[in-house]
Amino acid sequence: AVLDRAYALGVRYFDVARSYGLAEDFLASWLRRREPLPEPVVCGSKWGYTYVGEWRMDVPVHELKDHSLATLRRQYRESSDLLGSHLQLYQVHSATVESGVLEKAEVLSELLQMGALGIAIGLTVSGPDQSEVVDRALAVGVDGVNPFSVVQATWNLLEPSA
């Protein structure tokens, strides 16, 4: 009902991630039930966190951060299998200086290859160091080509560090 209402009100972009529990599954199920839609829907998803909380509040860890090439490949395959051609934006989830994702040549190369297939590549940032991460992202490249065309940054009144 929520997705139907959003679509009726003109929402055509949906943001999900592998670590948002079953968000991709829910969205994919809605898309399958509604297709063909009168107007196309674009989906963006993110990789780099694996949800392990199994819908329980009492577990010590709810998600694991891993910006490795293996995780990128696995999660992209999972997202793509669910969302199909609707997946048009794929982002590094919560890129940080500490994760080292912007120094991993094999990851950057893979992202560049995805971009060559027509998928917009981006990164999400949050916290007090997000401007440094964006600056670093703008400076990276594979053979002089930067894979990133989108930045999703946290900015709100409750987090003035942006």
Beta strands in the chain (DSSP E): 13-15, 42-47, 49-51, 63-65, 87-92, 120-125, 150-153
Q: In the predicted model, what is the mean pLDDT of residues 17-45?
A: 95
Give the pLDDT confidence of 90-117 residue by residue, as tens digits.
999 999 999 999 999 999 999 999 999 9
**Does domain 2-153 sit in CATH 3.20.20.100?**
yes
Give the pLDDT confidence of 149-160 residue by residue, as tens digits.
999 998 878 766
Q: What is the pTM of this model?
A: 0.92
Closest CA to 79 of 47, 42, 53: 47
CA 20-22-26 angle, 5° bins: 120
| For residue 10, pLDDT beyond 80 | yes
Confidence of residue 54 (pLDDT cuts 50, 70, 90): confident
